[in-house]
Structures are given as C-alpha cells and as structure tokens.
C-alpha cells in the first residue's frame, strides 16, 4: 500500500477549496479514499462537508448542480464536467425498513458522519492539508485485507440489509477476508436481504461474481446467496453419484467457475447456472446417478431467476441460451459450425466454448479432458467468416420475390421454401447460387 498522501484531482481540490473559502470544512470521503490508499484509480470522488445543502448550493451557484439526494444532504456538483457528490455531515435516524433512515440530522462534526458508515475501509476521510481522518482503523484493515463493520455488525446490517451483500461483494472484488464478528452477523442476518429491491441485489451480486475472490465467497456464503437465489441452494451438497463427477453439484459449479479465465459477466453467470436444473431431475439406477433433461429444466430456471433479478432482456436471453447449450458439444466441422453460427453471435460462441471447457475441467479427473473440438472450432468459424458463407435468409441468394416470380403464391409456402433452401446451403447440398437454387425449386414443383 502506498503512503497515505493522496493526490486529489484538480476538480476535488477546487470543490474543497471553494467550500473552505466560505467557512466550511470539507473532505474527500469513502470509496475514493479507500481505493487511493490501495493504489487504485477511484471511479468517482465523494466529498463530505459541514455545509448544509442550501449552503453548498450557494457556494456553487456558478456551477451546474443536481439535487440527487437533497433530503439526505447530497448535492451533485459538476466541476469542469466531473460530477462530485457533496454530502453534508449527518447522523442517521431510525431505520424502519432495513434500508433507509426515517430521517437524518445534519451535523457540524465529521466524526458523526464517519460513525454512520458501513465498513471501516469506507469510513475514512482525507484533506489535502490535514491528511487522513481514520477513526476506526480502516487503513490498518486495508493492510490486513479484511472487511470489518463500523461498530456493531448486527446493528449495521439491521439498519441497511444491502450492507450484507456489499460486505461479501467487497470481499470478492478486493479479495479480502471478512472479520469474524462481521461474518457471523452476515450469516445471522441474511434473511434481511429479502427486503431489498431486486435491482440492488443484482447490481451487487454481479460485481461479486466477477471479483477475483468470487469462488471463495460463494463457497463461504452459499446460505446468503440462497436467500435471493434459492435455486442454487438446492445444488449445495447434492451428490451426483456418477463416475463422471467427484463433487456435488454446487462444488462442481464452483470448480468450473474457478477455471474461468475471464471476468465477463455473461460467461460467469452461465457457468454459475449451467447445472441449476440437476436437483430437479435426478434419477438413480445400478449405473449410478443420472440427470436426464437437466438442460431444459435449467434453462427454464435460469430464465425465471434472471427475470426475478430484473436483468435486461438481452442478457437474460443470451445467458439462458448458453445454459441451454452448455452440454451440447459441436464438432469442429463446417456443417455443424454453420448451424451453431445461426444460433449464436461469434462472441457468444466463444463464451459457450469457455463454459463447456470450464464444465469439463470440473469433472472427475478421469473425465476432465476437454474435447479437442472446443479448441479447434474457432478456426473453423473464422474460415467460414472469411469465405463469406451464407448463414441466414438475409444472405441467401434467393429472395421471396424470386419465388413469387415463379408463380408461388404469397404466404407460408414462400417461407417454407426459403427455409428449405437455406438448410440445403448450410448442409452443403446446394451452393448459394441464385440460378441453381431456383432450378432446384422448379424441379420440386
């Protein structure tokens, strides 16, 4: 960790200086201080001040301002095009919904403001002259690489249930541990997540899933994840009883995720959910356990839970399709690859191959070798692209008007013939040549 002297951006220095010129205190605060002490570039900068919201507005009357949370003391000021959230020192009142304080009381003491924050690493403030204000040993916790609640952890989580997920998200993204009392409270208070809006759950969980410590956190806090993803709880401890697997369904999933070489959200979501349907279709005979039909069932569960967490339609459709195809290995042959390219974008084909590679590597050692097709297929796909091969009706040499000119009546028959021609071209039975295709249609009538 670098020395705690922080070089504040010019815009932040301007804002602090402007507030001080009017007789108020001001500090950079929160995540920007944490990230700076870790040697990382903050995504944004927040400022805390003794100025009341109306006083802050008066200080920046010649700047563009936005009342982003004025009832809680927050005003966004654009300084040279950079948005800075400037919030008045405050004490939070009683939390009635496990999420928001019923009222806030403004303060003149920065100590009051830092006391209300969630974790010690987020409860530090910095001034370019006075230096670091660290009342709760946050800098030491950064050195120890651990997440610790400010004050009593149970109280902090009952104030705002989302802090539970934020704690494990920070632990994943920063690859930190979680202090013992904070961890105990996370498990004990996990049901509070039931009161949190799906959009906020989704936002925090996606960051967690893409963090460097995701597998460790998912394993340690599976009970917490299960509050909003009960489909995954069913996988925990579910034995597969198969020669192909040496782990239960959840551990297989985590081992697959551990093999993932990208922090791409769609890929990691697909790996996380690829076997979610297994517990619902388990059967057993003298040969061991079987999961016939787990792909279609998993596809339905995936679509349902992504809707529940309010993922956008595009993400939901793509992840659901990747889960649907996760156990369908495509031969690295032009005919089969063209069919695959009909269903997926090139980008999603590469995602599918990564899902399948990770899935196979998480099998029992004797069955963990990924098939060569997973490595050979991209070259075949590239060759098909370079040849300009016909992959859709859009690039088929024959159009609907051509069939109408042959006397074929408008309607479903036109679409059926075009689909038949496309299938023949994809299979290599016919070239994508207008005259050849029309002659084929004539002969068939």
pLDDT-based confidence at residue 440 (cuts at 50, 70, 90): very high
Q: Are residues 132 and 211 in the same domain?
A: no
Is there a single domain that holds both residue 165 and residue 213?
A: yes
> Is 363 found in the same domain as 256?
yes
Q: What is the mean pLDDT of residues 9-26?
A: 96
pLDDT of residue 2: 43
- Looking at the domain assignment, is residue 343 inside a domain? yes
- Using pLDDT thresholds of 50, 70 and 90, give the confidence band for residue 72: confident
340 lies in the same domain as 286? yes
| Chosen domain end from 210, 228, 246 | 228
Q: Which of 282, 275, 327 is nearest to 301 (CA)?
A: 275
Q: Is residue 206 part of a domain?
A: yes
Closest CA to 228 of 280, 162, 278: 162
Q: Are residues 128 and 176 in the same domain?
A: no
- Give pairs for 34-42: CB < 8 Å, separation 24+: 34/121, 34/122, 34/124, 34/138, 34/142, 36/6, 36/126, 37/1, 37/2, 37/4, 37/6, 37/124, 37/139, 37/142, 38/1, 38/142, 38/174, 39/1, 39/2
By the 10 Å C-beta count (0-12 exposed, 13-18 middle, 19+ buried), 61 is classed as exposed
* Domain-located, residue 321: yes
Residue 97 confidence (pLDDT): 57
Residue pair 267/355 in contact (Cβ under 8 Å)? The answer is: yes
**Domain end point (choices 144, 174, 201):** 144
**Other beta carbons less than 10 A from residue 409's beta carbon:** 9
Tally of domains in the chain: 4
With tokens 């006397």, the residue in question is 407
Asked if 242 and 288 touch (Cβ cutoff 8 Å), the reply is yes
Q: What is the mean pLDDT of residues 50-67?
A: 93
> Is residue 345 located within the same domain as residue 294?
yes
Cα–Cα distance for residue pair 305/171, rounded to 1 Å: 24
**CATH code at position 435:** 1.10.246
Instruction: Report the C-alpha gap between 133 and 127 in whole angstroms.
Output: 8
> Among 188, 324, 228, 214, which residue's Cα sits nearest to residue 268?
214
Number of Cβ atoms within 10 Å of the Cβ of 428: 11
DSSP 149: B
> In this predicted structure, what is the pLDDT of residue 102?
62
User: Mind listing the pLDDT tens digit for each residue in 172-217?
Assistant: 999 999 999 999 999 999 999 999 999 999 999 999 999 999 999 9
Percentage of residues in the chain having pLDDT higher than 70: 96
What are 264-290's pLDDT values in tens digits? 999 999 999 999 999 999 999 999 999
Final residue in a domain of this structure, among 168, 202, 228: 228
Reply yes or no on whether the pLDDT at 99 is more than 60.
no
Whether residues 168 and 126 fall in one domain: no
Q: Residue 15 is part of which domain span?
A: 10-144
CATH code at 93?
Answer: 3.30.460.10
User: What is the arithmetic mean of pLDDT over 333-340?
Assistant: 94
**What's the rounded Cα separation, in Å, for the pair 75 and 69?**
6
């Amino acid at each position: 960790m670098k020395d705690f002297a922080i070089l504040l951006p010019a815009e932040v220095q301007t804002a602090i200086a402007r507030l001080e010129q009017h007789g108020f205190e001001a500090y950079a605060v929160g995540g920007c201080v944490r990230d700076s002490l870790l040697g990382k570039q903050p995504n944004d900068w927040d400022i805390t001040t003794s100025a009341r919201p109306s006083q802050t507005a008066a200080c920046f009357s010649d700047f563009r301002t936005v009342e982003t949370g004025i009832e809680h003391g927050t005003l966004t000021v654009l300084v040279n095009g950079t948005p800075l959230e400037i919030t008045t020192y405050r004490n939070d009142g009683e939390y009635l919904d496990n999420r928001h304080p019923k009222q806030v009381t403004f303060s003149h003491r920065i100590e009051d403001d830092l006391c209300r924050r969630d974790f010690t690493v987020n409860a530090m403030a910095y001034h370019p002259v006075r230096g670091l204000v660290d009342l709760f040993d946050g800098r030491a916790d950064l050195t120890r690489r651990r997440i610790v609640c400010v004050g009593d952890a149970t109280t902090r989580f009952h104030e705002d249930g989302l802090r539970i997920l934020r704690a494990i998200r920070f632990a994943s993204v920063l690859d930190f541990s979680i202090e013992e009392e904070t961890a105990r409270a996370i498990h004990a208070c996990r049901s509070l997540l039931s009161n949190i809006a799906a959009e906020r759950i989704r936002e925090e969980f996606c960051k967690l899933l893409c963090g460097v410590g995701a597998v460790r956190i998912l394993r340690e806090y599976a009970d917490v994840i299960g509050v909003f993803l009960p489909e995954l709880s069913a996988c925990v401890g579910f034995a597969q009883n198969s020669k192909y697997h040496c782990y239960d369904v959840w551990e297989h999933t985590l081992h697959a995720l551990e093999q993932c070489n990208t922090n791409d959200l769609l890929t990691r979501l697909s790996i996380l959910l690829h076997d979610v349907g297994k517990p619902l279709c388990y059967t057993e005979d003298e040969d061991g356990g079987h999961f016939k039909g787990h792909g279609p069932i998993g596809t339905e569960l995936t679509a349902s839970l992504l809707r529940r967490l309010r993922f956008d339609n595009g993400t939901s459709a793509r992840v659901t399709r990747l889960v649907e195809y996760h156990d369908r290995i495509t031969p690295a042959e032009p005919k089969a690859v063209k069919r695959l390219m009909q269903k997926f974008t090139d980008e999603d084909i590469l995602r599918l191959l990564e899902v399948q590679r990770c899935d196979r590597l998480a099998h029992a050692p004797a069955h963990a070798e990924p098939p060569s097709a997973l490595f050979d297929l991209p070259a075949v796909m590239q060759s098909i692209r370079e040849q300009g091969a016909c992959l859709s009706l859009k690039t088929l040499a024959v159009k609907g008007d051509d069939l109408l000119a042959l006397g074929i009546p408008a309607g479903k028959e036109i679409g059926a013939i075009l689909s038949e021609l496309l299938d023949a071209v994809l299979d290599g039975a016919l070239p994508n040549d207008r005259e050849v295709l029309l002659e084929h249609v004539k002969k068939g009538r």
